[in-house]
Amino acid sequence: MKAELPAVTLPGGRQVPALGLGTWHMGEGEASRAEEAASLRAGLDLGMTVIDTAEMYADGGAEEVVGDAIGGRRDEVFLVSKVLPYNASRAGTVAACEASLRRLGTDHIDLYLLHWRGRHPLAETVEAFEGLKAAGKIGAWGVSNFDEPDMRELLGVAEPARPAANQILYNLARRGIEYDLLRWSQVQGIPLMAYSPLDEGRLIGHPALEEIGRIHKATSAQVALAFLLTRANVIAIPKSGSPDRVRENFKASEIRLTSEDLRLLDEAFPPPTRKQPLEMI
Ligand code: NAP
């Protein structure tokens, strides 16, 4: 039997699994595209139905890989894409979304994010997002790489509308948000999407993760992901272009980290003791 993935409830009530699929660096080479699409489909087969992409990745190439992967099974997927900040004017956001929809081969994106803050006023981007939502081209909108002060400002600008998520860098080696943004977001009911949950692969083979992995018969990647799955309101989106590694990552959901495991992780990756500016990759 397939293990159940923990779920996160989005504002509006929709539930999505807390473990999804990243796509950065997909679509960069012709040779690997079929394998990349197969990896995403392997994830969907296991119920990892959140797929995260962006117009930026491979200049639209990653969105095309996603389009290939979800052909015929769009309804299973919670599709996330992002507009680049320099496109995020009122008209530019709409045009960027329509181009993404074409590459993705679908008529709607479930969650559309501003990739990071740029020069266009937030009010303009939010207005465009709300227009796209009213037109049924996106289901919800959100942001990425927003620290707590940015989020407060956004809430003021967007009122009464609200962002459905904030996608940020969060993994064992980058725990800064545990000082403030994580808790604030939980209180606000705004889910966080943890990007680079394996620190772009740098956490693989870390001795502390290997040690805990030995107890659970798990790999270092699985322990790193299991840590994020202990956090309420957080959706981790590891990327792998290999179906086997996607299946490996899925099995992180079968690990129950003990309080002793968490203590060892705190020792190896100390949580923040003061405010740290939000890190970004
Ligand atoms: P990541 O998921 O932390 O790590 C990906 C790397 O780890 C790849 O090199 C992958 O290689 C490797 N990997 C994955 N599973 C593995 C396993 N079980 N064992 C060994 N190696 C493994 O890094 P990321 O791609 O930067 O972040 C994930 C997603 O977050 C991105 O793909 C993207 O969708 C999103 N993201 C968003 C932002 C933003 O600004 N909003 C920024 C960065 C990333 P293989 O593919 O060869 O398996």
| pLDDT digits (tens), the chain, 281 positions | 356 899 999 999 999 999 999 999 999 999 999 999 999 999 999 999 999 999 999 999 999 999 999 999 999 999 999 999 999 999 999 999 999 999 999 999 999 999 999 999 999 999 999 999 999 999 999 999 999 999 999 999 999 999 999 999 999 999 999 999 999 999 999 999 999 999 999 999 999 999 999 999 999 999 999 999 999 999 999 999 999 999 999 999 999 999 999 999 999 999 999 999 999 99
Mutation pick for ligand 1 pocket among 143, 166, 168, 195 (CB with most ligand atoms within 8 Å):
195
Q: Which residue's CA is the nearest one to ligand 1's atom 48?
A: 240
Reported pTM: 0.98
Is residue 195 lining ligand 1, measured as CB closer than 6 Å? yes
Is residue 96 lining ligand 1, measured as CB closer than 6 Å? no
172 close to 224: Cβ distance less than 8 angstroms: yes
Has 57 been annotated as catalytic?
A: yes
Is residue 213 lining ligand 1, measured as CB closer than 6 Å? no
Q: Catalytic one among 57, 112, 170, 195?
A: 57
